[in-house]
């Protein structure tokens, strides 16, 4: 597999994202670093609506503490983990959407975090529908 560059900050695989990159993961929660609340939670700062922090963000001193916490924990280097179909293993399957109820009806709870390619989803749906119809008529 060839190396990729981050689509947001352009950094090469294995290196740290540029600070403020949309694609950087938080080393504490695994979410998007620029939008998670870990800095507030870990620094014990109230950022609820109406507070100074809510409208202004971290102070310079708080930002320094947060940066030190990130450095101590270890920022997450950029590495591409490709999307694979959880059934057939197709690399980078095209994404598609189905209504939540349909997804929940056809994909078992333990598999819902997996990605499926459209042909596999359609095949699963076809198999389940055929089995449900056969079961309802006593076949």
Q: What mean pLDDT comes out for the span 35-62?
A: 92
> What are the structural domain ranges in the chain?
1-81, 82-139
Give the pLDDT of residue 52: 87
With beta carbons less than 8 A apart as the criterion, state whether 118 and 94 touch.
yes
> Would you state the structure tokens that stand for residue 6, as one six-digit string?
């981050």
Percent with pLDDT over 70 in the chain: 94
How much is the CA Rg of the chain, to the nearest whole Å? 22
3-state secondary structure the chain: CCCCECCCCCCECCCECCCCCCCCECCCCCCECCCCCHHHHHCCCCCCCCCHHHHHCCCHHHHHHHHHHHHHHCCCECCCCCCEECCCCCECCCCCCCCHHHHHHHCCHHHCCCECCHHHHHHHHHHHHHHHHHHHCCC
Phi, psi of 57 (to 5 degrees): 85, -165
Pick the closest to residue 115 from 138, 92, 134, 133 (CA basis): 92
What is d(CA 116, CA 69) in angstroms, rounded to the nearest whole number? 37
- Give pLDDT tens digits for 72-104: 999 999 999 889 999 999 999 999 999 999 999
Average pLDDT over the chain, rounded to whole? 91
With beta carbons less than 8 A apart as the criterion, state whether 101 and 37 touch.
no
Residue 2 has pLDDT above 80, yes or no: no
């Amino acid at each position: 597999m060839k190396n990729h560059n981050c689509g947001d900050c352009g950094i090469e695989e294995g290196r740290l994202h540029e600070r403020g990159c949309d694609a950087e993961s938080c080393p504490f929660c695994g979410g998007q670093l620029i939008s998670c609340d870990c800095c507030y939670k870990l620094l014990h700062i109230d950022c609820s609506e109406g507070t100074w922090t809510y409208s202004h963000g971290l102070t310079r001193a708080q930002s320094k503490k947060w940066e030190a916490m990130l450095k101590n924990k270890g920022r997450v280097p950029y590495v591409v983990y490709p999307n694979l179909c959880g059934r057939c293993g197709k690399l980078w399957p095209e994404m598609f959407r189905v209504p939540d109820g349909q997804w929940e009806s056809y994909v078992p709870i333990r598999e819902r975090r997996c990605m499926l390619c459209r042909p596999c989803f359609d095949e699963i749906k076809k198999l389940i529908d055929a089995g449900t119809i056969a079961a309802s008529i006593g076949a």
